[in-house]
Structure 1
Amino acid sequence: MRQTILFDLDDTLVHCNRYFFMVIDQFADWMADRFRREGLDPAEVRRVQAEIDIAGVQIVGFDSEHFPRSFVETYRHFAAQFGVKPSRDDEETVRRLGRSVYELETEPYPHMEETLDRLKEEGHELHLYTGGDPEIQRRKIDKFNLQRYFGSRIHIRRHKNADALEQIAASCGFDRGRTWMIGNSLRTDVIPALKAGIHAIHVQAETEWQYNIARVDVEPKGAFIRLKQLIDVPEAIAGYVRSRMVR
């Protein structure tokens, strides 16, 4: 039976967190060296940056300037803590470091093409639903030629939450009993899907951003499946559909 299937992009189809964590490590090392006399621990830098980053995302959404801004704000935090006057040169250095994450080459998750090929061949309607800066997300989409799977059914939102998914579901006229959301984020993929009354599959990411971790306290109206790898998605959907037909 034909299903409508929405895929998240970052850390579901293509790697993302690994690049952000790599740049955060570089930033933490730079900060530890900059405040060497004060004995700044890189782990403390990571903790404060994560708090600032997550707090900001909840306000501005997935704005591309927010991540480098979190580096500047973290730098200012420790400068104030140690009684050091902030330097414009230092701020520009850490801002450039934060922006550098968007210049790194992105790699696909294992079995990305195999998974999408199978679902397309089975006749399902595939959508891509991702959060972030449209230009940055489009570069990833173009690099992997994802239009061959999703066509014009690509939804890019700065705020990826229950309201955004509900708007997409309503405007596209989804049959919610045959619609699925596939993603690594409990916060932005799974919980909004369950609130919208559609099926959800949580696919475990290689490494997870703290923001994406949340308690699922919504009662599913349909399927809620947890998987460890993307390649298992087609059979999970097929198995659920078969079980419903038997009933």
Structure 2
Amino acid sequence: MSITPQHIIFDMDDTLIHCNKYFDLILGDFFEWMTDWFAPFGLTTEEVRSKQIEIDIAGTKQLGFASTNFPQSLIATYRHYGQIHGRATSPAEEEQLFALGMSVYDQEVEPYPGMVETLERLQGDGHRLYLYTGGEARIQQRKIEQMKLADYFEDRIYIRRHKNIEALEEIIRAGSFDRSHTWMIGNSLRTDVVPALTAGINSIYLKQQREWEYNLVELKEEPHNVLYTVSALTEVPEVINHHLM
């Protein structure tokens, strides 16, 4: 049976490669530093976590996926509790926090299980693959090169500071995609699924066990186009091919 080739757009971070777990490692160090520095005031990890998430999400909404947003959220959280408890802050400690936050981008890149098999299967089935990732070009390009993703996506790679409906629409229109044969695959309801459904293309939501709060939004209405939910990347080819039968 002949299968109509599809345009398949993949998110990268926490869809094809690990990302959030490295932020969690850095945050673990940050929480230890903060509860140590503010020990006389009884500051808890839960308090620090809550404020950092609040500041991080607000910064991301405003600035997009700027690399400095994460380290700046650590510093802003530190300043917040310094002001509340009357503890003097210091440039040296702020420099430590900035370096800690930026170190997340130096972590070794690790693919999700089945990344290569999934991309090779889809490519072998005749589908055309695209990569659409949020962040700064220098940082995202390093990951792309380390994972040799150009072997699958060639020049069909889009890096955007903001991942939203406007950015996705720009990509779809520039490529003259047939929306009924176009898919967005990603782990973020906010930046992958909702824009895809709004743009009238199909979507596969890769649901992670632990997700960054920024990515979690409510789907306000029943989608009129196709939406599947999977728990493993390797399920994607079967979902697409089964849908086409």
Residues 109, 147 of structure 2: 8 Å contact kept: no
Q: How does 1:226-237 map to 2 (within 5 A)?
A: 226-237=229-240
1:223 to 216, 223, 226: 226
Match of residue 132, structure 2, among 124, 129, 133: 129
Q: Whole-Å Cα distance in 1 between the matches of residues 210 and 12 of structure 2?
A: 15
Q: Aligned AA for 1:180?
A: W
Give the deviation of 1:206 after TM superposition.
4.3
What SS class does the counterpart of residue 141 from structure 2 fall into?
helix
2:129 paired with 1:100: no
Is 2:14–2:187's contact at 8 Å kept on the other side of the alignment? yes
Aligned twin of 2:204: 201
TM-score, normalization by structure 2: 0.97
Counterpart Cα distance in 1 of 2:198 and 2:102: 34
> Does 1:41 find its partner at 2:44?
yes
Q: TM-score, normalised by structure 1?
A: 0.96
1:142 is aligned to 145
SS state at 2:158 partner: strand
1:72 Cα deviation from its structure 2 partner:
0.6
Corresponding residue number in structure 2 for 1:115: 118
CA distance in 2, matches of 1:104, 1:46: 22
- 1:8-57 CA-to-partner distances (Å, cap 9, x unmatched) read 00000000000001101110110000111111111211111000000110
* Unmatched tracts of structure 2, length 5 or more: none
1:53 equivalent in alignment to 2:56: yes
Task: State the SS of the aligned residue for 2:131.
Answer: strand
Residue 245 of structure 1 corresponds to: none
- Separation in 2 of the partners of 1:37 and 1:95? 24
Number of aligned residue pairs: 242
How far off its partner does 1:84 sit? 1.6
| TM-superposition CA deviations, 1:174-227 (whole Å, max 9, x none) | 100000000000000000000000000001124210001111124433210000
Which stretches of structure 1, 4 residues or longer, exceed 6 Å deviation after superposition?
A: none
The 8 Å contact of residues 11 and 206 in structure 1, kept in 2 or not, is answered as no
Q: SS in structure 2 opposite 1:205?
A: coil
> Quick one: distance in 2 between partners of 1:22 and 1:205?
17
Residue identity (%): 50
SS of structure 2 residue aligned to 1:37: helix
> What are the within-5 Å matches in structure 2 for residues 143-158 of structure 1?
143-158=146-161
Q: Which runs of 5+ in 1 are unaligned?
A: 243-247
